[in-house]
Amino acid sequence: MAQVKTLAIVATFLLGIGPALLSLWLTELIKRRSLRQLQRAGQMRHQLPPSLAQDSYYLSGVGYLIGDITCVFNARSPHLRCAVNPDGPCRSCRHYQAKPGLQDLP
């Protein structure tokens, strides 16, 4: 009889603490997975996305840009060249306007 009561107490204890232990385990598992994903995203930050065209370049402190940076309409973005000709190319764009003060650049 005493063994049955002891067994019932242990079973009740395990049933009571089980969900908390499962929750802690799952939380730790999700934290580790999230950390790995953040590390992977941080490593990919400086890699050129495959969707960018040939007129893309890396500007230190800014990141990847596409289009002609000397144009007034350039969006300074890796996703959009400009408001006038978002799909490009900048090389033959009829809306090109040089930024003031950039005419003397080599």
pLDDT tens column, 1-48: 778 889 899 889 889 998 999 999 999 999 999 999 988 877 766 555
Measured CA distances, 59 to 2, 25, 69 (Å): 76, 43, 10
pLDDT at 49: 53
DSSP, res 72: T
**Cis peptide leading into residue 89 (ω within 30°):** yes
pLDDT at 102: 60
pLDDT at 105: 46
The answer to whether the beta carbons of residues 64 and 56 sit under 8 Å apart is yes
pTM over 0.75: no
